[in-house]
Structure 1
Amino acid sequence: METYFPDMDEAQSRIARERVMDDLRTLAADAEALLRATADDASGAAKETRARLAAAVEKAKATCEDLHARGLASAREAAKKADTTIRAHPYESIAVAFGVGVLLGVLLRRK
């Protein structure tokens, strides 16, 4: 039976990616609120700053969408690998699922 742990740091990488995505979403929302709040300021410097901020917000949104798409692709790839492993070792997979079910049943019955 195979055990596949290509990179134990993948979980840490996923958590960091989720934190960055959350930060990007928050930054984009705050920047959009700032743009709406300063919409009445007509000075040239304010207009230039708002334009740069709007471009940065769009770039942050694109980066966030890209990270999200990569996460989905990674999840699909993991599901395909799991499917391949299960198809390659059906009896072992059934035994593992049965064992986990029995273990959960014992643990839940104690409470």
Structure 2
Amino acid sequence: MPHKPAVEAAKDELLAEFQALVSDTEKLLHSSANLAGAEADQLREQLHSSLKRAREALDVTRSSVRDQGQAAVDATETYVRENPLQAVGIAAGIGFLLGLLVSRR
């Protein structure tokens, strides 16, 4: 199961990619009026490249989060299969505590 630092690193990488994408988009908007042919094409290509990197980073992060969630589900299912009475006891205890909290309001 991936650890929190791996998820945080993926999140930071994704954020950096989107910041670069926003920066490139702003640059394109500000420069588009003054650029001619080849310069505009080059800037558009840079923007396209940044967008592609951001999409790839998003896909990696999405996959990582999905894998982490699936690993948590699998670990929970394994625990419940191996310790059914403890799982029922824990669930009952949590339900009881939540009931107490809700009834106080």
Higher relative contact order (CA 8 A, sep 6+): 2
TM-score by length of structure 2 reads 0.72
Bigger mean CA offset, 97-106 vs 21-30? 21-30
- Percent identity, please: 19
CA 1:51–1:58: 2 relative to 1, 3 Å: same
Query: Is 1:107 aligned to 2:98, yes or no?
Result: no
Return 5+ residue gaps in structure 1 as ranges.
1-5
Give 1:46 deviation, angstroms: 2.4
- Describe how 1:32-43 pairs up with structure 2 within 5 A: 38=32, 41-43=35-37
Root-mean-square deviation (CA, aligned residues, Å) is 3.0
8 A Cα contact 2:21 2:54, kept in partner = yes
Aligned to 2:40: 46
CA distance in 2, matches of 1:107, 1:55: 52
TM-score by length of structure 1 reads 0.69
Aligned residues: 104
